[in-house]
Amino acid sequence: MTSTAASGPRYGFVDLLRGCAILVMVETHVVNAYLPPALKQGSDFFFWVAFVNGLVAPSFLFATGFSFILQGRHQWDDWLRFRLPFWRQLRRLGFILFVAYNIHLQGFGLSWYLKNRDNTLMWERTFKVDILQCIAVSLLILLLLVLIVRRRNRLPYAAGSLGIAAALVTPWVWARDFRSDLPLPLALYLNPHKVSLFPLFPWISFVLAGACAAHYFLRSVDAEAVPRYMKRAALAGAGLIAAGLLLRPVPWTLPGHVNFYTTSPLYLMVRLGCVLLVVVLLYRCEARWAGAKWLGPVRIAGRESLLVYGAHLYVIYSLLRRRLGPVLGLEAGYAGCFLMSAAVIALMLPLARGWHVFKKKHPRAVRAGQGILIAAMVVSFLLL
């Protein structure tokens, strides 16, 4: 099912993908925060929990790249000519980066930084690259590709080539310590350095894969062949999974830091294949149960994913662990984690819906509020 927005039609399965990813992300963070280490060691059940949770970030990044190209269908010429939509896109990405880094600044002010300017650990935590930084910079790179290739039919080749290259050089990049050659904020975008969770290598590959998939999806829309596209996507997904698993025993490896679950292009293929299968599944759910009430809240959570992201982190790590931890405890088994996840999700869904409705009714107030919020954050940082 599609719906019409100001920038063109929306495709419900894309919002569902992002919505499912952000809601499973809630469970992922709860499990990471509360599940005792003893329940993680040597557990087959935890392996599958971790595997499913490990698809959250790839799905979210894939949906981000996919949505970017859907938006670009109606704004492509405006981007190339640096018209208002181009600057709005930059403003949006800048806001995401601002929020991302501000999350790491919570509790710190300028005076604290000046007093502790030689504290290496402080700067590493400040400039740690998380999912939001990865999204914003990946989309900036994708926007730069648009400006370079200029023609729509060239973009999938450029994005695909860059995505494959990023996956292949990841082991080499992870084996290097760039902190002595580059400023720390830039170095942390290249590999974890035991700090960053989502460096560009290899995570940008999922954004670029989403962009390529969206390009061919739009071609199938124009040709009225979306069902055929989805069948091919399912076959591609199954093929990627099979190839990634079957090639794992091959003794030849890429030079650099070798780890199947972090740097191997083969595991990236497995996860990308799973994401494609999830996309097809959600497309079929959308086609079959388009009017189902339970799909609406998930779609809205996907559209308001930035709010849900920030809000659920505050609830889990600040409210539950820091403030209520002495009362509720800091560990829980699987049942406790899943119940807590359900409770947080039940809180996030109406929050996302309320914010979504408010944004539609009062867009000017929202823009003004964002400006005031940014100014307040900057002033509070300077004065603390």
Query: What does the CA dihedral 100, 148, 225, 60 come to, rounded to 10 degrees?
Result: -10
Query: Does 1 map to a domain?
Result: no
Q: What percent of the chain has pLDDT over 90?
A: 72
pLDDT of residue 114: 85
CB atoms within 10 A of CB 91: 12
Whether 271 shows a pLDDT value over 70: the answer reads: yes
Rounded Cα gap, residues 255 and 11, in angstroms: 41
Using the predicted structure, report yes or no on whether residue 354 has a pLDDT greater than 80.
yes
How far is the C-alpha of 77 from the C-alpha of 56, rounded, in Å?
Answer: 33
Question: Do the beta carbons of residue 295 and residue 12 sit within 8 Å?
Answer: yes
pLDDT at 370: 82
Q: Which two tokens stand for residue 164?
A: 């494959």
- Between 203 and 326, whose confidence is greater? 203
In a shared domain, residues 182 and 315? no
Average pLDDT on 238-259 reads 92
Q: Residue 300's pLDDT is what?
A: 94
Domain shared by 49 and 69, yes or no? no
pLDDT digit string (tens) for 10-55? 788 999 999 999 999 999 999 999 999 999 887 889 999 999 999 9
Q: Evaluate whether residue 380 is within a structural domain.
A: yes
- Do 111 and 213 lie in one domain? The reply is yes
Please confirm whether the linkage preceding 85 is cis (ω < 30° from 0): no
CA gap 60, 28 in Å, rounded:
13
3 within some domain: no
Same structural domain, 232 and 86? yes
Sorting pLDDT into bands at 50, 70 and 90, what band is 185? very high
Higher pLDDT, 370 or 305: 305
Tokens of 62: 């894939």
Q: Provide the token pair at 295.
A: 């799909």
Cβ neighbourhood burial of 236 (10 Å; 0-12, 13-18, 19+): middle
Same-domain check for residues 70 and 138:
yes
Distance CA 75, CA 147 (A): 12
| Nearest-angstrom CA–CA distance, 250 and 233 | 26
Contact of 203 with 134, CB cutoff 8 Å = yes
> Which among 260, 288, 316 is the end of a domain?
288
pLDDT band, residue 6 (cuts 50/70/90):
very low
pTM: 0.93
User: What is the average pLDDT value for the chain, to the nearest integer?
Assistant: 91
Residue 8 predicted with pLDDT over 60: no
Tell whether the model's pLDDT for residue 206 goes beyond 80. Answer: yes
Q: Do 111 and 201 reside in the same domain of the chain? A: yes
Domain boundary among the residues 256, 288, 320 is at 288
Rounded to whole angstroms, the Cα distance separating 141 from 324 reads: 41
5: pLDDT strictly greater than 80: no
How many Cα atoms within 13 Å fall on the side-chain side of residue 268? 25
Say yes or no: 35 and 75 in one domain.
no
Q: Is residue 235 part of a domain?
A: yes
Both 359 and 248 in one domain: the answer is no
Rounded to an integer, what distance in angstroms lies between the CA atom of residue 338 and that of residue 304?
23
* The pLDDT value given to residue 85: 94
Domain membership flag for residue 246: yes
82-104: average pLDDT: 92
Instruction: Indicate if 37 and 107 belong to the same structural domain.
Output: no
* 222 pLDDT above the threshold of 90: yes
Domain range holding 101?
A: 60-288
270, with CB counted inside 10 A (0-12, 13-18, 19+), is buried
Q: How many domains does the chain have?
A: 2
Assigned domain for 37 exists: yes
pLDDT for the residue 77:
95
Q: Of 288, 320, 339, at which residue does a domain stop?
A: 288
* pLDDT value for 11: 87
Q: How many CB atoms sit inside 10 A of residue 147's CB?
A: 11
Q: What is the pLDDT of residues 142-174, one digit of tens each?
A: 999 999 999 999 999 999 999 999 999 999 999
| Rg value, the chain, Cα | 21
Q: At what angle do helices 265-288 and 155-174 cross, to 10 degrees?
A: 140
Q: From CA 125, how far away is CA 69, in angstroms rounded?
A: 32
d(CA 276, CA 211): 13
Per the CB < 8 A criterion, the answer to whether 277 and 245 are in contact is: no
pLDDT greater than 80 at residue 7: no
Angle ∠(142,188,112) on CA atoms, nearest 5: 120
Whether residue 7 is contained in a domain is answered as: no
pLDDT score recorded for residue 325: 83
3-state secondary structure of 10: strand
Regarding whether 158 and 88 lie in a shared domain, the answer is: yes
Pair (41, 64) in one structural domain: no
The set of residues, in sequence order, having a beta carbon less than 8 Å from that of 197 and lying 6+ positions away, is 128, 129, 130, 131
**Mean pLDDT throughout 255-268?**
93
222 and 103 inside one domain: yes
In a domain, 6, yes or no: no
